[in-house]
Structure 1
Amino acid sequence: MSRHLLVGMWLALAAGTALAQVDSPTTEQFKYQAEIRGSIRRHAVCRIPLPLELLSRSESNLTDLRLFDADGREIPFVVRFSRLQPKTTEAPLTITGYEQSRGGVQLVVTVPEAMGAVNGIELTIPERDFRKQVTVMANNAAGPVIGQDTIYDFSSYVDLRRTRVDFPATDARVLVLRITDSETMPENRDTVQVTATGLEIIFSRSWAKQLRIDTVLGRSVQAEPGGPRIDRWLLRPVPTAQNASRQTVIHVPVRLPAGRILFDVATPVFYRAVTVESSLDGRDGSWQPFASGTICAFPLGGQPERRLQLDLPGTGIARYRIAIENGDSPPLEIRSLSFESPTREIFFVADDARQPYRLMVGARSVRAPNYDIERFGDSDAWADQARNQVTMGAVTGNPDYDPQAGTSRRAQVERTVLIAVILVLVVGLGYWLFVLLRKDGVGTPSGDKPDA
């Protein structure tokens, strides 16, 4: 009997769980929608980018994203990232010539024939604390100048190093690199001092040293055809506040995908630590440490060198709170913030030609979908099949939205399961008491034996 009761309890729980799991969402559960129209035909693969306006309205990191056809049937889909950067090829360049003079050194490098047009080089330099001017000529030393840049390293003082030289793409197979000191240092001058409010940086004269160049790496970037690869969102003016810890605090007012933050700062010289916290809904007590780094600007030879970006890890969608450590320095004059993230695209196989299809978000009680097509291919494979032109309209409120939709059936299932479990427990408890009393007596509930 006890075995039957135990089996009954497990069956009741399993049945309730199954009923709750197969409860498919309906269009009435979603707050927002965007209509999809275009060359939609049955069994055609369709592709369309997801705008930030739609992503920011997701309440659960896109687990509440659903697609419905014109008849309200749920349509399976996949979401893939477009490439953030164009295709980049890197290869070592062969150093075929070296010449040293009083003003600097000159390198001759050869580009491999298999490599496409080169638009940048990276120098491998083991030394620290230097600043050099690099001029790049095509074909020979008398050839046209195709690029000029500054390489530097101040890592003994701050985390600031650059050994990359960028220039317009060239098909030349021979490049001449002329590396010279950025400026002539007087013999009686030991240091250069840059002073700003609350900041003092001293660089030694060791930047005029000779450098050892181990390798020269060439880079070829090929732009890919297609739509936008990066989504951008601008915050201007920036809502800043100063707290008791002398921090500048910025609350980003909308949910955004993780990616990169770009700071537009008017302050000419600064070096500040930045921390970023994230939260799904922005409520007090829900903020978690998310990323940290530094932003800075230094005047080098009259041309400011800046590091004004901070990368955010992961691919989630959240609200962000930014804190900038000011110390005893005045707050930065921040003109704007730009947020960049990889473009997300949705791919789906149309089930019917009737339009419009409706892409919907904003339902807290909806679990993440589990579609079989999610297991098929990466973004390139899907893009090769998506040849139908479709467009997405503006994100609007869902006219069919019902705040109670989706909760009544779940509540009914949960109530049914609870009643079933309680009944099973009551019956089981009664049976257990009956067995317990029979062990202590024969035939009477009190356990007294009848007279012989």
Structure 2
Amino acid sequence: MIGKTTLFSFLMLLIWQYCVADIGNPRFSRPVLLPDTTSQTLLAIILDEPIYAASQTDFADLRLLDQDQQETPYLLKKIATSKTVTQRLSSVIDSQSLQKSGENGIVVTLSLDKNAAFANGLTINTQQRNFDYSLQIMGSSDGNAWHVLVDKATIYDYSRYMAVSNRDISLPDNQDQFLKIIVAEATQSRNSQMLELTRTLQAGEEQQRQEKQQLQVEPLHIEGIEAWHNQASTQAEAAQAFPYSLSNFTISQNSEQKTSVIEIDSKRQPLTGFKLDINTANFSRHAEVQIAQPGVQAPIQVIGTAQLQALHFQEINQLQTELTFPEQRQTHFRLVIHNQDNPALEISSISAIGHAYQLLFLPQAGKQYQLYYGAEKMTRPVYDTASIEELLERGYQTTSVSLGAETALIPSKQKLNMSSILESSWFLGGVIGLMVLVLMWSLFRIVKRLGNLPE
């Protein structure tokens, strides 16, 4: 019995090793047509209908290999509109000093940290109100040779009139580690809010009145100075919508349910909606999009609904014939229009819209690449894409490349997959049958031993 158990375990181990040795083979490949350039580029392969038709739903089977059959990391992204966002970041000031210039002027000298980014601007921090000062900004790369960056910059605060102020000074592009802020007139005079009144009285009557208002001299008081630089980054916004062709569609009428049923065949593109061309003039109908769910209790799933409607009367022209839904890659959709007791709509054509995907990668000099896809069961690869993502964030543009003709690959001998074996009815039946045989053999041995016992 022990020998049979050992043999059975050994056979199961062989089956396990056989099953996990392979995860599938791609069915198709296409060469990447690289641009004729020697400069570094970020390349983008836009996936097309043959790839959508043959690839896995999550694109886990896509592999980019070079001529040595080495995998090349890639980043798969939806094609989306983007916007440039500018952030103001601090440029660290290492030291600063102040000197008087002339009777009322001052000169502030700043030295940026040697590792700091060059400044795109300065901010003069002061708590003062109601002022207007003119400044000159000079720059130097070594602290000796100076040149003018901004000749006449103005900081101001007009709080006595309105909440309007500016304490920022924008600088042109430069490579200056040292900056000078020159304020030729660092004081300003303004009338005092106190009024001196002198009255001359005689016999209780005012003979003379004098009013004097003092001028108040106020120096510029700087609490601190900030240097900053601008850093632009590109952020993706909404995914773009692209038109897609449909394989075929058929329309039938269900008189019992009072519905129009449209069966739509697609090529597994990443669709997000359908648009109907309807010749009927005026209508309003509820419609829904359905997909099949094999292997579940509710085989039909509604993925989108809409109210199709049109109103054309005199100057009124209203039309809404689109149905949208979350992205789906299916071979078949069903569109149901509820007519109730109304005549069926006259539908002339149906078009599809959806997302598009691109595969981004950094090519190596002297390498040629092939894109492989179409394997039935492959796990999604985990690549290091930090460099690609940073280039995109910095706003670097991609270069689109095309793919060559599709080549059907000869599949190698497929080895069994463990999950397929475990889910197979033959395997389950065999296991149950084996257990029954073992149980019957055990019962037979027990009965035989009982029969040999002395009475």
Q: Which has the higher strand share?
A: 2
Q: TM-score, normalised by structure 1?
A: 0.49
Larger Rg: 2
